Chain A
Amino acid sequence: MTKRDVMIYTRYERFWHWSQAVLIFTLFFTGLRIHDLHPWLKFGQAVTLHTYAAYALMGLWVFTTFWNFTTGQWRQYLFKKGIFKVIRFYAWGILVGEPHPYKKTLQRKQNALQSLAYMTFMVVIGPALWLTGIAYLFYNEWAGADWSGDALWVIAVSHTMAAFAMGTFVIIHIYMTTTGKTPLHYVKTMITGYDKVELSEVEEAYLAETKSVEMR
């Protein structure tokens, strides 16, 4: 077993991650303005930005869903055992210098807690936002219905709730990036794509031969 610098986040994954980050920040900031929780934009500007960013993010998600399934990367997000060990680590072990209970490998980039968090992000918070968002965006197409007044309340409130959940996720997510080897280690990894991963000899030889994953 040797440790090698391996490209674990491909160019598309990094593009996906960072463009999604920018869009989510934009959406959260403009969304709070639309909800009249801060004054740092005009309402009309906030709506316009929010709308464009929403379309962009939905486009990005369509591509990413396609990418996740064609590359098989979607399996990374499946439920893994050992989640309580990970939770225990972040709650206590990390403070007293215990080793992380999880070993990152090429086939398992995420620990159990990460998988669960990202899965929740992708199948609960995300869809709650875009489903209500699309309904909201096209309000005028169903405004004529008898139930539209009540439905708008439900949609708007659900959208707001999901947005708060997203905001909470992002805060914790950003903090978690500081728990690496150095506080900026994970951020660097997400920028360069490379991280040190333990490879078996067979894996190393295979990657070196096929160049299916970049390694340095």
Chain B
Amino acid sequence: MKRFFPFMGRWLLALALAIWLPGLAQASSTADHSKFESLKGPFASAPEVTKACLACHTEASHQVMKSIHWTWDFTNPDTGKRLGKPRTMNSFCGSPLSNEPRCTSCHAGYGWTDARQQPEPVQENVDCLVCHDRSGGYKKVATDAGHPLYEPRVMGGKSVMPPDLAKAAQSVADPGRDNCGACHFNGGGGDGVKHGDLDTSLVKPSRQLDVHMAADGANMTCATCHTFNDHIPSGSRYDTTAKDPHGLDLPKDDHNRATCESCHGDTPHKQAKLNDHTDRVACQTCHIPEFARGGVATKTWWDWSTAGRKDADGKAVFIKDDHGHLSYSAEKGDFQYGENVRPTYYWYNGVTEQVNVGDKFDDSQILRLNKLHGDSKDPKARIWPFKEMRGKQPYDPELKTLVVNHVFGKDDAAFWGNYDYAKSIKFGMDYAGLPWSGKIGFIETRMTWPITHMVAPKEDALKCGQCHTKDENGRLAQLPGFYMPGRDSIRWLDFVGLLALGGALAGVVVHGLARIVMNRKTRHD
């Protein structure tokens, strides 16, 4: 009966913003880290900085080591399946196994060179700076298992200087959008590649791009919503809260603000009819009309089957499209990109079935790497927007499993060098200790990425008629199974109805004409 208290949500929202936002805006602290002797350096390595941090923040590393940022290990509470990057496959790079120093550059630690095992619990190996550096200078180098540069290095023909670790150490504060973005904006091997709703345009977004994170909007950071409790982040793609029955977080805070409902409640609109949608339609569905809106393209197709092409001179082929994006890479295959992409909509109750590297599957059809659960009859499910990633990936056509492809390394088996799948996959599978028939095929895959960032201002939200329409191009035209006004009808019944109307009209016209033609005195009182 919340519809009868429409002002409650606004009032609590105002209160919530009044409490949270000033704290974020000022980021005031009782400690000025630039005044600490122990942070003046010089530091020979990043772990030395961590050691200095831990001298005061005694529990920090223990907390971080329990978080998924460190463990890359997660058991799905819905399916009981053990997930995490070392085992769960995606449709981009494949597996980090045997490619560690490259892939573990985004590990929240230092020196994880063998992802077959959990990272060693060495306190100093926790990377404090990647999240807390506010100097903007600290950067994990792409190939060194999470370390930054310590010496100048020539990369891509340019000499790159190592970061000033002392300056970084003295700058520490709550993470900004750029801290999280260093990894999360670049997932899948580059800016905006993976998610579609996360890319570097969100470092300084316009209000049109992201109403929450824009400086002239609410100027929020990632952690404003992704609440951290003892360094454990909230919000998960493995275990999504597709519907937050908890609603508004105040006055009782569940320390998890990673849903829209946490701040907006489940009746956020002035119009009751709009609020009637919130039980079946995720906020994101209307309020993120397109993703990749910030001028950064996201990858929509990745075909590994064509990788490895060389030209007549034996040189690896790389082709760029009109926008300067690689449309073909000998290292990775064919690509397609999208900007301002309309999402694909599915029913989703937050339960996802992921495919791990050893899992058997049916290869007679397109492989869905993360099957979404929920349908219109499931009260926990809502209609959600997704980026649908398409592609082709190497697999074992005999054992019907995906395979580990060894792409990165200075050895002669690495695909990014020798362009020989037979060698690189053998190396990868041996390394992972997984059975392989020796055969290689390519299977077409799909992967759905929930869209939840890049929330547009309300005036840019979807209009009713974009879903409520018979147009076959309507937003929900492909989502049958429930009655939706404007879209659904029983065709023959509409036909009968229109026939009745038309018949009545025709009948009275004929009758009227007959009266005129007969032209007799037809009046009576």
**Are these two chains actual partners, yes or no?**
yes
Quick one: CB contact mask for B481-525 with A, threshold 8 Å, 1 for yes? 111011111100110111011011101100110110010111111
Closest to A167 in B: B501
Cβ–Cβ < 8 Å partners of A153 in chain B: 483, 488
Interchain CA distance A143-B507 in the complex, whole Å: 42
Query: Is A36 a contact of B379 with CB atoms below 8 Å?
Result: no
Q: Please, which residues of chain A bring their CB within 8 A of the CB of B511?
A: 175
| Binary flags per residue of A78-92, CB closer than 8 Å to B gives 1, else 0 | 000000000000000
Quick one: closest B residue to A154, CB to CB?
B483
The answer to the question of A25 belonging to the interface, with a C-beta cut-off of 8 Å to chain B, is no
How far is B523's CA from A91's CA once the two chains are assembled, in angstroms?
14
* Docked CA distance A157–B492 (Å): 11
* Interface pair B498/A42, CB less than 8 Å apart: no
Of the 9-residue stretches A53-61, A63-71, A177-185, A200-208, which lies at the interface with chain B? A177-185
A97 vs B494: C-alpha distance in the bound complex, in angstroms?
38
Per the bound structure, the CA–CA distance linking A144 and B279 in Å amounts to 9
Which residues of A have CB within 8 Å of B271?
48
Chain A residues within an 8 Å CB radius of B3: 140
Known A-B contacts A43-B465, A43-B486, A161-B497; A140 and B276 likewise in contact (beta carbons under 8 Å): yes
Count residues of B near A (Cβ-Cβ below 8 Å): 48
Residues 155-171 of A contacting B (Cβ, < 8 Å): 156-157, 160-161, 163-165, 167-168, 171
Q: What's the least CB distance linking A194 to chain B, in Å? A: 13
Check B515–A140 contact: CB distance below 8 A: no
Q: Give the residue name and chain of the B residue nearest to A90 (CB).
A: B511
Chain B, range 245-301, C-beta contacts under 8 Å to A? 271, 273, 276, 279-280
Is the pair B469, A164 in contact by a Cβ cutoff of 8 Å? no
B518 in complex: contacting residue of A51, A96, A149, A168, CB < 8 Å? A96
The answer to whether A149 touches B483 (Cβ under 8 A) is: yes
Q: How far is the CB of B425 from chain A (nearest CB, A)?
A: 47
Contact B512 A36 (CB under 8 A): no
Q: Is the interface of A mostly helix, strand, loop or mixed?
A: helix
Residues of chain A lying within 8 A (CB to CB) of residue B325: none
Is there contact, CB below 8 Å, between A95 and B485?
Answer: no
Tell whether, in the assembled complex, residue B483 and residue A156 are in contact, meaning their CB atoms are under 8 Å apart.
yes
A100: nearest chain-B partner, CB-CB: B524
Q: Is the CB of A172 within 8 A of B468?
A: no
For B504, give its contact among A42, A51, A171 (CB under 8 Å).
A171
Interface residues of B in 364-385 (CB under 8 A from A): 376-377, 379
B469 — nearest CB in chain A belongs to which residue? A36
Residue A15 lies at the interface, judged by CB distance under 8 Å to chain B: no
Q: Of A3, A96, A104, A167, which one neighbours B520 at CB under 8 angstroms?
A: A96
Chain B residues near A96 (CB, 8 Å)? Answer: 518, 520
Measured CB to CB, the closest approach of chain B to A153, in angstroms, equals: 5
Determine if A157 and B487 form an interchain contact, defined as CB atoms under 8 angstroms apart: no
Counting CB contacts under 8 A, is A139 at the interface? yes
Interface residues on A, range: 35 or more
| Interface membership of B463, Cβ < 8 A | yes
- In the complex, chain A residues whose CB is within 8 Å of the CB of B69: none
Q: Indicate if A72 sits at the interface (CB-CB under 8 A).
A: no
Q: Which B residues lie within 8 Å of A167 (CB)?
A: 497, 500-501, 504
Residue in contact with B514 in the complex, picked from A42, A95, A164, CB distance below 8 Å: A95
Q: How far is the CA of A140 from the CA of B278 in the complex (A)?
A: 10
Considering the chains assembled together, what is the distance between the CA atoms of A182 and B3 in angstroms? 53
Give, as a whole number of angstroms, the nearest-CB distance from A126 to chain B.
17
A36 to B487, alpha carbons, bound, how many Å?
Answer: 7
Does B207 count as interface, using CB distance less than 8 angstroms?
A: no
- Tell me the bound Cα distance from A120 to B327 in angstroms: 68
Shortest Cβ gap from B379 to chain A (Å): 6
Q: Does A47 lie within 8 Å of B273, measured CB to CB?
A: yes
Pair B279/A143 contact, Cβ less than 8 Å = yes
Q: Does B470 contact A (CB under 8 A)?
A: yes
Given A35-B486, A35-B489, verify A97-B522 contact (CB < 8 Å): yes
| Contact status B512-A149, CB under 8 Å | no
Question: How far apart sit A99 and B498, CA to CA, in the bound complex (Å)?
Answer: 34
Q: In the complex, what residues of A have CB within 8 A of residue B44's CB?
A: none
Q: Contact between B465 and A44 (Cβ–Cβ < 8 Å)?
A: yes
Give the residues from 13 to 57 in chain A that come closer than 8 angstroms, CB to CB, to chain B: 34-37, 42-44, 47-48, 51
Which chain A residues border B504 with CB–CB below 8 Å? 167-168, 171-172
Q: Does B31 contact A (CB under 8 A)?
A: no
Chain A positions within 8 Å of B482 at CB level: 149, 152
B508 and A175 contact, CB distance less than 8 A: yes
Give the one of B280, B377, B498, B501 with max A CB within 10 A.
B501
Contacts of B25 in A (CB 8 A): none
> Is the Cβ of B465 less than 8 Å from the Cβ of A42?
yes
Q: Does A196 contact B (CB under 8 A)?
A: yes
Task: Evaluate contact between B515 and A95: CB separation under 8 angstroms.
Answer: yes
Given known contacts A44-B465, A149-B376, is B498 in contact with A164 (CB within 8 Å)?
yes
How distant is the Cα of A97 from the Cα of B463 in the complex, in angstroms?
A: 57
Contacting B at CB under 8 A, from A93-109, are 94-97, 99-100, 104
Q: Which residues of A contact B18 (CB under 8 A)?
A: none
Interface residues of A (CB under 8 A from B): 3, 34-37, 42-44, 47-48, 51, 94-97, 99-100, 104, 139-140, 143-144, 146, 149, 152-153, 156-157, 160-161, 163-165, 167-168, 171-172, 175, 178-182, 196
What are 9 A-to-B residue pairs whose CB atoms are below 8 Å? A3-B525, A139-B276, A146-B377, A149-B483, A152-B482, A156-B485, A157-B493, A161-B493, A164-B500
Instruction: List 5 A-B pairs, minimum CB-CB distance, nearest first.
Output: A164-B497, A175-B508, A43-B465, A100-B524, A97-B520
